[in-house]
């Protein structure tokens, strides 16, 4: 009989859970709220009002055998611009906000948009180079209206966050002592499963 401590005393194995705060940043009217609502609620409307301050949405994902809870923080474009909190592509504030990542949203159809680099208009090669030069993990052309690449972009970010988290956890030396089992000693457990 093989002992499995997670099943002793009638306990079921617990599903691992992750909670990630993700910021959604961009200028006023670029579609941040539309993207979040499409992703979280599978809805789209042309009648959204401008976000005032910060709005919040929660998306729960079943990721392999784990649960991922994404807190999506919709940062009002006007607020960020007026307060100076977020400068053009400035992700250095993310650790201060305890965010694990961010979506930087801009509208490729707008020519005059402070957060949109003008040289990137519909040019994938230039976007790739821009991301590499500025430390972004990737980019997606999305459409909340057409439900284009919204889930794909989010999954890409979650996958990157989880990989980064796993790398960090592997590099940390635990400050606890792991018990060592004596292979010569017989162990028993009532209610264990083989």
Asked whether residue 71 is domain-assigned, the answer is yes
How do residues 36-57 score in pLDDT, each as one tens digit? 999 999 999 888 778 776 788 9
- Alpha-carbon distance of 74 to 69, in angstroms, equals 16
- 13 φ/ψ angles, rounded to the nearest 5 degrees: -65, 140
Q: The domain spanning residue 143 has which CATH number?
A: 3.40.50.300
Rg (CA), the chain: 22
How do residues 144-192 score in pLDDT, each as one tens digit? 999 999 999 999 999 999 999 888 888 775 555 555 555 555 544 444 4
Q: Tell me, what's the pLDDT at 35?
A: 95
Asked whether residue 80 is domain-assigned, the answer is yes
| List of residues 6+ apart from 192 with CB closer than 8 A | 1, 2, 3, 4, 7, 8
Domain that holds residue 126: 16-161
Asked whether residue 194 is domain-assigned, the answer is no
Asked whether residue 136 is domain-assigned, the answer is yes
Asked whether residue 6 is domain-assigned, the answer is no
Asked whether residue 64 is domain-assigned, the answer is yes
How do residues 73-113 score in pLDDT, each as one tens digit? 988 775 444 444 444 445 545 545 688 999 999 887 776 66
- Alpha-carbon distance of 107 to 84, in angstroms, equals 20
Asked whether residue 182 is domain-assigned, the answer is no
| Position 4 pLDDT exceeds 90 | no
For 10-17, the CB contacts below 8 A with 24+ separation are: 10/191, 15/65, 15/66, 15/67, 16/65, 16/66, 16/67, 17/66, 17/67, 17/68, 17/69
- The residue whose two tokens read 């053009």 is 88
Asked whether residue 166 is domain-assigned, the answer is no
Work out how many domains the chain is built from and give that number.
Answer: 1
How do residues 121-157 score in pLDDT, each as one tens digit? 567 888 888 889 989 999 999 999 999 999 999 999 9
pTM of this structure: 0.69
């Amino acid at each position: 009989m093989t002992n499995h401590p997670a099943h002793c005393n009638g306990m079921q194995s617990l599903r691992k859970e992750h909670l990630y705060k993700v910021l959604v940043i961009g200028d006023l009217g670029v579609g941040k709220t539309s993207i979040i609502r499409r992703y979280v609620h599978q809805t789209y409307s042309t009648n959204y009002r401008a976000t005032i301050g910060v709005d919040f949405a929660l998306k729960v994902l079943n990721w392999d055998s784990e649960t991922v809870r994404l807190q999506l923080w919709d940062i009002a474009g006007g607020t960020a611009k007026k307060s100076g909190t977020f400068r053009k592509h400035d992700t250095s504030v993310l650790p201060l906000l305890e965010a694990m990542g961010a979506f930087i949203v801009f509208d490729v159809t707008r020519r005059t948009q402070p957060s949109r680099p003008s040289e990137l208009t519909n040019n994938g090669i230039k976007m790739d180079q821009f991301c590499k030069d500025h430390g972004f993990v990737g980019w997606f052309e999305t459409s909340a209206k057409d439900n284009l690449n919204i889930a794909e972009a989010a999954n890409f970010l979650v996958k990157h966050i989880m990989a980064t988290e796993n790398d960090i956890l592997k590099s940390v030396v635990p400050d606890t002592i792991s018990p060592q089992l004596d292979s010569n000693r017989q162990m028993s457990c009532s209610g264990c499963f083989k």
